[in-house]
Amino acid sequence: MSSKVLLISEQTLKQSTAINENVDSSELRFCISQAQYLFLQESLGTFFFDTMLDLVATGDINLPGKIRYKELLDNQITQMLIAYSYYLALDNFYMKFINIGLQSFSSEQSAPIDSKTFQYMKSLARDNAQFADNLLRRFLVFNTQFFPEYATIRSNGDLTAEFAGAFKSPITLPGGGNVRGNVEWYDCPYPWWYGQVPKP
């Protein structure tokens, strides 16, 4: 695995979010790297995560035999990483580490946002990122046959892919067979957040 590989570029992140073009790209690399390591690895599992990094690092992802991996990267992973990188970037730009401690800056033309507005922006960014993450997980669950590395455990230290929804909630929803109207339902083999399907 190449730990220095970024699956999206800093320019892609700028063009797809409210981040200004003048922002130094070096400020964004850490956010992208962390989004990959913390969130994408959880959704793909360590083995598949490492596989995607290697395919991009070697350029093999552009080979005809890897077309599905390229489509996964372009259509699903990219959107998820943009959303989570932006979510993480909000913290980096709200305050800065300097040699005298954490500081929030202002200029003659603008002022820092208040903490309530910041929390609102963080919450909205998190919701958007979790939605994109759910789309990625849903796609993988229904297309597992095309990605043999998905959910494969290579060693005891690997994370397995997280099948549950990316939305974290303390609420537990009932599953199990039940009757709604005149239709009997049963547990779906997929995670509960895909819903249930009626018995034939």
Q: How many CB atoms lie within 10 A of CB 128?
A: 17
pTM of the model: 0.76
Nearest to 76 by CA among 106, 98, 48: 48
Residue-wise pLDDT for 146-180, tens only, equals 999 997 888 778 888 887 765 555 444 444 444 43
Average pLDDT over residues 191-200: 49
pLDDT digits (tens, 9 = 90+) for 98-155: 545 444 555 555 566 777 888 899 999 999 999 999 999 999 988 999 999 997 888 7
Q: What contacts 22, CB < 8 A, 6 or more positions away? A: none
Which of 139, 48, 127, 137 lies closest to 84 in space, CA to CA?
127
